[in-house]
Structure 1
Amino acid sequence: MESLFVSTGVVALAEIGDKTQLLAFLLATRFKKPLPIIAGILVATILNHAMAGALGAWITATLSPDILRWILGLSFLGMAVWTLIPDKIEEEEMQVARKFGVFGATLITFFLAEMGDKTQIATVAMAAHYPDPVLVVIGTTLGMLIADVPAVFIGDRFAARIPMKLVHGIAAAMFAVMGLATLSGAGSSLGF
């Protein structure tokens, strides 16, 4: 259950101020139809994070525990730094939204925006770190929804009140602790 709770918390914090959360704000203000936007976020996240979880599980099965420990530890430390860098939405991601309706636009833009995004990379790393990648994918999907669903309903009025630097600092600290713990051998009894 630790993998579920950690994955949920880390991704929920990392997602605040992330470009996909900004995309949720933008889609909500543009289309004003929260249910198809939320459904698109859910489906896109499940697809994207399931692929990331499968990659993480494959990495675990392929690499030796020592190499995996170093890669994961350094990946988590890299995620800590990346979390402190603010995201922006690219205009071409919004061009898709004009062609496929609210659900389709959300599904496509969220899926594409998540490719190589810090929450997807975090999902790969956590799926490689924890023994149950399915719980990691469920957790990271919940984390995305915890951060993005309120963004859809509340819109950008609330975003200005969130202390983004503090939230990003907490998420970065969590990634850093996970990285240092992994590098120091925490979890070695689990084979990492």
Structure 2
Amino acid sequence: MAYLLIVLAYLLGSISAAIITCKLMGLPDPRTVGSNNPGATNVLRHGGKKAAAITLLGDGLKGLIPVLIGKAFGLTETWLIIIGIAAFLGHLYPVFYQFKGGKGVATAIGVFLGVNLWGGLAFVATWLIMAKGFKISSLAALIATALSPVYFWVLSNGNGWLTLGVLFIALLIFWRHESNIRNLLSGKEDKIQSKEGAESVTNEE
């Protein structure tokens, strides 16, 4: 069952919520606009809040569902994080889109919530606080990601394999955010702004 769920998790993770949502809503392919990233933040900037919310939910469910199935079958936390990693890798390297996917934050949140609810909520709370304070999605995500191994180490009572799995996801998130980190260091990273917000600014100018 664990091996089957790993395969299914990867295939589910390979389904792009951003691409499908934008296509169904008649919006530009997120791979062709803005940051070219098929993720909720890019969809927010070019498709609006509704499309971004659907994308965020879809990407999160990709990580959450296979982990919850594994939990229902009584698999250990170590197996659950491995299944979650499979879904996460599917998002980053989707077999259905030439292995070119997103940056994985929303899918990681789904995985974290499924494996350990309190660890996932700690990640979400950190992201929300940082996003509200700095108004920069990538910075909020990176801070929450950096703290996630600590959260899971403490909340899992020192489960080393689980913590290593969370650390692996965190390192990949940082690697996928390489361009964002460069922009942050140079002060060029975009702030959180929806399509509607950008249009209102333009209309006022």
Q: With structure 1 as the length reference, what TM-score do the two structures score? A: 0.36
Higher helix content, 1 or 2: 1
Higher relative contact order (CA 8 A, sep 6+): 1
